[in-house]
Structure 1
Amino acid sequence: MASHAAQVQPPEDVLGELIERNSSDYLTQSEQNIMMMPDNPALWTADEGKDLFYEERGPNNKSLETCDLGKGPGVVEGVYVELPRYFEDTGRVMDLESRLVYCMTSIQGFSPEDPEVKTRHGSSSDMMKLQTFIASRSSGLPWNPPMDHPLEKAMRDAGEVMFYRRAGTSDFSCATCHTNTSKRIRASVLPNINEPHEWTKAISWPAFRVGQQNVRSSTHRIRGCYWQMRQPQIIPGSDAAIALMSYWTDAARGQPAILPDKKR
């Protein structure tokens, strides 16, 4: 665990090193955000999440210190960059959000309808605080989702099909926006999945959205993209959502995560 902790870097340093090594309109498009990253409000959200992780809560009055996120009970260092992954105790490939739901209900005794579990979006939600804390303990570490179990490979492959599948009234796919360099929507430069140094920033969620004044998750980003493509909304924690995350995380393999990030 100590070796992982030693590699964790401030997100502004990770981004700065990526910019030094690569020429990218996407990485450098927001000078103001880059300057303000050391004061990212998501860092406060992460601090609140740390308190929640170790607090005894719920009907069972338990902390999340026995929650196994992939590296053993209570280990948070380096777990986020190795998700989604297969969990033996559920027989499923799970992302961080679905795994937290499992731990909060099975360990702490919360009901899926309790606000601590059901409320998923916004900096003030318990779920967003917990995700931001856990993710922050992987900043600077390389994305390395496991592909050892057949279901991990199957989810990654299903996510690839989803990424390139055109559908909806506009006949869009994820690839419509994310397979070309310096493509724009209005003033925003879009990341190219074929450029790993860009894609690592694209998938570095949780992140503080300046335009929304809230910390947002990977699930929230996927829902936003599907809304923009005029396709049906993906259900959080569903196999479809996790498959897409499996593919996009694999596409950034080996690149350092920027966590928490600060985005437009």
Structure 2
Amino acid sequence: MKVTLWAIGAAAGASIAISAGLAQSDNPVEEYRRMLADPFANPGFLWVDEGERLWNEKRGPKNASLEQCDLGLGPGVLDGAYAQLPRYFPDVDKVMDAESRIVHCMVTLQGFDEAEIRRRAFSTRDRKSELEALVAFVAEKSSGHKFSIPLTHPKEKEAYALGEAVFYRRGSFFDFSCATCHSQDGLRIRLQELGNMRKQEDAARALTSWPTYRVSHETLRTMQHRMWDCFWQMRMPDLVHGSEVSIALITWLTKNAEGGELEVPSIKR
């Protein structure tokens, strides 16, 4: 386990430190962002540690660990695997992102029920998600690696094309699409800058920082949650966790972010 005293202290005292820092700053917003960027104040690493414990522990009806889970680079190979996902997996004949592949391993290796895993995929105020912790652990193993996902198999190309179509598709009450907020330069909502996901530098800046600890949520969040939350904000129907649409959109965004270097878990508002 990697849990250290500074990480535990950060989880307990980050809000106090931020409040004190803001009170002394001439530019509270920039000071807030600077303090959020401090890795020693990031409780997200507690999720990484919990994910490592869950990964190596024998659990489930089959009393097995996830140590033989194949994330695309071979059974048990984690270093750099997250940076090469989503990708096509021959054993299931479809494209999977990191979260869906981890769910697959929990089902096939450990015997857990897939519907129950997905039902509890996102943390709530009173319950932490095991899946989010596992994703944090796997993703952290790719910190320092650059996104480079394959786009050679026909189903990978199909996923990319579908993701692009979903990005521009308008609908629901507001007649919004992802492109409404993320296809122009210089847009923002309140203090939140909205990246242009059609540009590599903006896509890389966004994608390389997930999973992230959300201070306002008091928990770690993954890219699947980011997609779900965006659909919710557009008042679209709920995006099903691990659905073909969610994976396709993540495929398109990740390919646009290719070359960006992962630094996770990050910490955000």
**TM-score by structure 2 length?**
0.83
CA distance in 2, matches of 1:59, 1:189: 45
CA distance in 2, matches of 1:91, 1:60: 24
Aligned mate of 2:48, from 42, 46, 49: 46
Question: CA 1:113 to 1:177, structure 2 compared with 1: closer, same or farther past 3 Å?
Answer: closer
Residue equivalent to 1:56: 58
Aligned mate of 1:94, from 93, 96, 106: 96
Residue equivalent to 1:257: 262
Q: Which amino acid aligns with 2:176?
A: F
CA distance in 2, matches of 1:78, 1:242: 19
Q: Which amino acid aligns with 1:93?
A: V
CA distance in 1, matches of 2:190, 2:261: 28
Structure 2: state its 5+ residue gaps: 1-29
Structure 1: state its 5+ residue gaps: 1-26
Q: Which amino acid aligns with 1:33?
A: L
List aligned pairs for 1:58-137, cutoff 5 A. 58-114=60-116, 118-122=119-123, 124-137=128-141
Deviation at 1:75, TM superposition (A): 0.9
List aligned pairs for 1:238-253, cutoff 5 A. 238-253=243-258
How many residue pairs were aligned? Answer: 236
CA distance in 2, matches of 1:201, 1:37: 17
Q: Which amino acid aligns with 2:68?
A: T
Aligned mate of 2:167, from 163, 173, 183: 163
Q: Is the 8 A contact 1:29 1:189 kept in 2?
A: no
CA distance in 2, matches of 1:198, 1:260: 18
After the TM superposition, list the runs of 4 or more consecutive aligned residues in structure 1 that deviate by more than 3 angstroms: none
Question: CA 1:29 to 1:243, structure 2 compared with 1: closer, same or farther past 3 Å?
Answer: farther
Secondary structure at the residue paired with 1:30?
helix
Aligned mate of 1:30, from 30, 33, 37: 33
Q: Is the 8 A contact 1:201 1:257 kept in 2?
A: no
Return the structure number with greater relative CO, CA threshold 8 A, min gap 6. 1
Q: Is the 8 A contact 2:118 2:241 kept in 1?
A: no
List aligned pairs for 1:190-229, cutoff 5 A. 190-203=194-207, 204-229=209-234
Deviation at 1:237, TM superposition (A): 0.9
Greater mean alpha carbon deviation, residues 180-189 or residues 147-156: 180-189
Calculate percent identity across the aligned residue pairs.
Answer: 42
Q: What is the RMSD computed on CA atoms of the aligned residues? A: 1.8
Q: Which amino acid aligns with 1:235?
A: V
Secondary structure at the residue paired with 1:86?
strand
Greater mean alpha carbon deviation, residues 164-173 or residues 196-205: 196-205
